Amino acid sequence: MGTAMQIKDKVAIVTGAAGGIGAALAEALVDGGAHVVISDIDEARLAATAERIGAVAVAGDASSEDVIARMIATAQVSFGPVDLFFANAGIGDGLGMSATDEQWQQAIDINVLAHVRAARALVPQWVQRGSGYFVTTASAAGLLTQIGSATYSMTKHAAVGFAEWLAVTYGDDGIGVSCLCPMGVDTEMLRSGMTSGGGTGGKVAAAAVTGAGEVLTPREVADQVLASVAEGTFLITPHADVREFMRRKAADHDRWIHGMQRYQRHLMGEV
């Protein structure tokens, strides 16, 4: 186990928190006695969530250095120095080879560089304090792959890689890192078919997730995340099957790819 952190009386920031896993994380944090700042690009929905759970809202793009600075400054003024950062905002737009450069860049910015920029702003001060905790919301797609979406698969792999690097590099400095890699969670992204554009590709991507195992509620996932933070656990896999899939992939990569190809053919026939 790595560095653990109890959340009571701690100051936390959660991005992508207007709904879904982010809102559930924020609510669980508040319920556990933490002081919470939440952020999302959907300002109206964010404000409603903040009022409902008792958090402070900072609207904006989670990948923007200016917005990240505002989140941190707001937390500092409202509650004190930030103890935990939950890099939860994510996007699924842009599917296969038809994804545009703009969609690729947006996925990279939100799913990866938002984490890098937040860590860049917080980790140096955490090292000085000897304490801090960074939680990355990645996906089982970051350990396996995402049928139907190249942008999502690649950026979630990168998110896992960055979280691993943070843990290795700063674990001896008292900084904890956890990486959340669920399969199906009942969120707006999953219900809308992975992307705002929908279409067959998005439906296949969503079906690949829902067909692989149980769809959990956001609060079920959030509770597992906070339990893992309290224990200092790096890899959080709310769906137990993910670790078995990882073992199969590592044991025989070619066989795993052939199996995923068969699964994709099955899904294409269903959608």
Residue written as token pair 């674990």 = 171
Query: Whole-angstrom Cα distance, residue 17 to residue 15?
Result: 5
Which range, 74-78, 89-93, 96-100, has the best average confidence (pLDDT)? 74-78
CB-based contacts of 86, cutoff 8 Å, min separation 6: 12, 13, 14, 15, 17, 22, 25, 135, 137
Q: Give 193-213 pLDDT, tens digit per residue.
A: 545 455 555 555 555 555 556
Average pLDDT over residues 86-111: 92
pLDDT at 211: 56
> Is 152 designated active site?
yes
Nearest to 231 by CA among 150, 162, 133, 142: 133
Kindly indicate the confidence band of residue 267, based on its pLDDT and cuts at 50, 70 and 90: confident
Residue written as token pair 């959990």 = 216
Nearest to 57 by CA among 91, 22, 92, 83: 22
In three-state secondary structure terms, 2 is coil
- SS3 track for 149-178: CHHHHHHHHHHHHHHHHHHHHHHHHCEEEE
Q: Give 132-172 pLDDT, tens digit per residue.
A: 999 999 999 999 999 889 999 999 999 999 999 999 999 99
Query: Whole-angstrom Cα distance, residue 14 to residue 46?
Result: 11
pLDDT at 194: 47
Q: Give 216-256 pLDDT, tens digit per residue.
A: 999 999 999 999 999 999 999 999 899 999 999 999 999 99
Query: Whole-angstrom Cα distance, residue 83 to residue 79?
Result: 11
Assess contact for 233 and 1: CB atoms under 8 A: yes
Q: Is the pTM of this model over 0.85?
A: yes
pLDDT at 208: 57
Burial of 101 per CB tally in 10 Å (0-12, 13-18, 19+): exposed
pLDDT at 12: 98
Name the phi and psi angles at 35, rounded to 5: -100, 125
Query: Whole-angstrom Cα distance, residue 223 to residue 131?
Result: 22
Average pLDDT over residues 69-92: 97
Say if residue 79's pLDDT is above 70: yes
Burial of 65 per CB tally in 10 Å (0-12, 13-18, 19+): middle
Domains of the chain (ranges plus CATH)?
11-270 (3.40.50.720)
Assess contact for 169 and 127: CB atoms under 8 A: no
